[in-house]
Amino acid sequence: MEKEVVDYQKIIRSKYRKLLRLAEKRGGDKEDLSLIRKAYKVSADAHKGVFRKSGEPYITHPLEVALIVSEEIGLGPKSIAAALLHDVVEDSEYTNDQISHMFGESIAYIVSGLTKIQGIFDNQSSSMQVENFRKLLLSISDDVRVILIKMADRLHNMRTLEDVHYAKQLKTASETLYIFAPLAHRMGLYYIKSEFEDLGLKYTEQDVYKEIAEKLDDFEQNDSDYLKRFSSDIYSLLSSEAFDFSIKTRTKGIFSIRRKMINQGISFEEVYDKYALRILLDAGPKREKGEIWRAYSIITSVFKANPRRLRDWITSPKANGYESLHITVMGPEGHWIEIQIRSNRMDLEAERGYAAHWRYKEDDSGNTALDEWLSTIRENIENQEGNALDFVDKFKLQLFSEEIFAFTPQGKMLTLPKHSTPIDFAFEIHTDLGMKILGAKANGKLVPLSYELQSGDQIQILSSDSQTPNEQWINWAVTPKARTTIRHFIKNEEKKSVDRGERLLRRVMKKAKFDWNQSRVQRMLNHFGINAPSDLYSRFGSGKYHGEHIRNFIQEESGSFYQYLRKRFKPKASKLRDVSIDSGRIVFGPDSVILDHDMSECCRPIQNDPIFGFIEDDGIKVHRTDCPEAINLQGRFAEKVIVAQWAKNASGDFNATLKFSGVDSSGLLLKVSQVISNEMNMDIISLHINGSEGVFSGTISVSVSDRRQLSQLATNLRSIKGIDIVEREVNKVK
């Protein structure tokens, strides 16, 4: 059978024409269309004769990125042109000066920003170290269109990820979940954030993704009639009250469903908000809030609402501008249904977030919420120092955090991350005030510095010129500005303690007529059980260690040092290890090299599990790709991840644990034992079942030869009447 010949030129022409139609539909004039045509010609010339892994001409990629930028994010002609040109300087002989000459400084600046951050993500041998991450954040703070186009670029790469090899799939997907999804969330691009998460899950936990996708498809087919009936009821109800509106159905993402199942310990069937109705009201800015609350009142007068599930982002929008009213009501036949009520304007901004600021003509008018966020990014970068990964982690957490609103005594409203304390509030007002905070009053009452601010609190900060931060403040503060400033102060104080402690020890040793040299410092470290000289000096400089500690050491130095060593370091039996059995099961890298390694305790890989290697200080650890730690390790430490696979002739037994639960019934334990011992002839290591009020949960540890055998056991256990859920157990990450 001959392979079908694909007419790529026809596909390219179709995409190009669609791009022009979209620009024209959004109000693009002749000058705008001419700009896009010119950018396309330059891009087509730069990428002529270059092909993607899929065999497509490379020009299809910048075309798809430009379509995402225009159609899904809603940016204007300059951004579309920059999207078409985003790889030109990186991959051809065109220079940024030439781009500037042909297209102007604005577009050249965006292309330059995209070129600078290209290596952050595309170089497989590097991880996101602090300078690279700073470049990414600086590109946002200078012109947010740079990261929006980069998101479109990443989105198309994720959509075509099946064309690259497995190791690259895993790295790209992990990276997307680690940084791009949180950025999309913080910028209000919820549709793109959801797709990033779903596609990321598809390649990091393939079996989980496939299982939920299939269940979601079955659920949609079975319940589509119910949703149509309920939607029709809502439509009739609102129509009778003369609303001008439309209704859409929103499907919860596969990643979001999986996260809810894990966080709440529930099954797929127990996730009741898989679908939601979105009511879009056609009302002007002056009437929209009143119409939303009127619709809410009418709906809840007929359908009982769950008060714990009310989310009011109409009265207090999120910091990224998101406005919507979310309610959950009891529909017919006892089903909880989520309803989202918003205006058409709110829906547009909810879908496109900050990107809505640049749509159409990409004017330079102000956007207060956006400007404040960009200002926060710049401030965080300026204040950043110290551990790179800590900086990345803290910033990423802030991207996903919810906001609260608190007021100064004068009535000024401040937006802060959820869980903020008076320390964060004080630093938000001014750094000097934060450094001198002594206490606080919330709504007129004294509260501790660890008090968690609530939306609507009015906060008065009490300060003293003699007050200084201490280490406990870091545990209470949550904003990067407060934590970084406090840590900087403490670090300086520690440096002073180190210098003071070293001077003290030198002086005392000289007085005791002992030489001060590296050997003596090492013996002192051994005596106190400390690893680093700086820690030793700090303890003496801060007063934690005092004269008695020094006298004890001097006494030891005077005659009993070797006895001390024999007492402290007793001979230990060496740990024997059969490297030929364990290490030969797994090979590493493209050349299948055998390396000494250990199986990770957090996920306990077994034969044929998809795996990867991770280089730690004490050796190589092998993890499953669906390990709870996998996204964290591969997103943060890409340079420490190595390709691993099971050797072709590997054999041996593995211990694995399954969790199962369901409805308790007579003889259940016997049936489980028979399936394992009689039907599958497997050895049971341990079996535990707990039952209460008609339901049970349990774990069973067995010895298996490979993943296939464990999967068959899980299938056989599910066939036992009363057992609903059977899952592979992994250790929780602390």
SS3 for 564-623, per residue?
HHHHHCCCCCCCCCCHHHHHHHEEECCCCECCCEEECCCCCCCCCCCEEEEEECCEEEEE
DSSP H helix total and E strand total for the chain: 30, 19
Span 414-425, mean pLDDT? 88
Span 545-559, mean pLDDT? 71
Tokens encoding 666: 């007579």
Span 396-409, mean pLDDT? 70
The residue length of the chain stands at: 734
Tokens encoding 478: 């949550």
Q: Residue 441 has what pLDDT?
A: 92
d(CA 700, CA 711): 14
Tell me how many degrees the CA angle 215-674-609 measures, rounded to the nearest 5: 50
d(CA 42, CA 44): 6
Q: Which of the pair, 561 or 182, is modelled with greater confidence?
A: 182
Tokens encoding 634: 């591969």
The answer to whether 378 and 368 have CB atoms below 8 angstroms apart is no
Indicate if the pLDDT at residue 468 is higher than 70: yes
d(CA 666, CA 669): 8
How sure is the predictor about 127, in pLDDT bands with cuts at 50, 70 and 90?
very low
**pLDDT by residue (tens digit) across 161-184?**
998 888 889 888 988 888 788 888
**pLDDT by residue (tens digit) across 661-711?**
888 777 777 888 888 877 788 888 888 888 777 788 888 888 888 888 888
Classify residue 514 by burial, with Cβ atoms within 10 Å: 0-12, 13-18, 19+: middle
Tokens encoding 368: 């207060």
Tell me how many degrees the CA angle 416-419-423 measures, rounded to the nearest 5: 70
**pLDDT by residue (tens digit) across 472-516?**
999 999 888 888 889 889 888 888 888 888 888 888 787 767 788
> Using the 8-state DSSP alphabet, how is residue 702 labeled?
E
- Closest by Cα among 638, 636, 575 to 168: 638
Distance from the first to the final alpha carbon of the chain: 55
As a whole number of Å, the CA-based R_g of the chain is 31
Q: What is the pTM of this model?
A: 0.63
Half-sphere exposure of 664 (CA within 13 A, CB side): 10
Half-sphere exposure of 567 (CA within 13 A, CB side): 8
Span 416-426, mean pLDDT? 90
The answer to whether 86 and 114 have CB atoms below 8 angstroms apart is yes
How sure is the predictor about 80, in pLDDT bands with cuts at 50, 70 and 90?
very high
d(CA 452, CA 294): 33
Half-sphere exposure of 485 (CA within 13 A, CB side): 22
Q: Which residues touch 257 (CB under 8 Å, ≥6 apart)?
A: 212, 216, 268, 271, 274
d(CA 598, CA 579): 10
Backbone angles phi, psi at 320, to 5 degrees: -90, 10
Residues recognised as catalytic: 90-91
SS3 of 525-557: HHHHCCCCHHHHHHHHHCCCCCHHHHHHHHHHH
The answer to whether 132 and 381 have CB atoms below 8 angstroms apart is no
d(CA 681, CA 674): 9
Strand pairing class (336-343; 654-663): unpaired
Least confident piece of the model among 177-191, 367-381, 441-455, 654-668: 367-381
Q: Residue 649 has what pLDDT?
A: 67
d(CA 648, CA 582): 14
Q: How many CB atoms lie within 10 A of CB 73?
A: 27
Structural domains of the chain, with CATH: 8-204 (1.10.3210.10), 212-358 (3.30.460.10), 488-568 (no CATH), 587-646 (no CATH), 654-728 (3.30.70.260)
d(CA 193, CA 187): 9
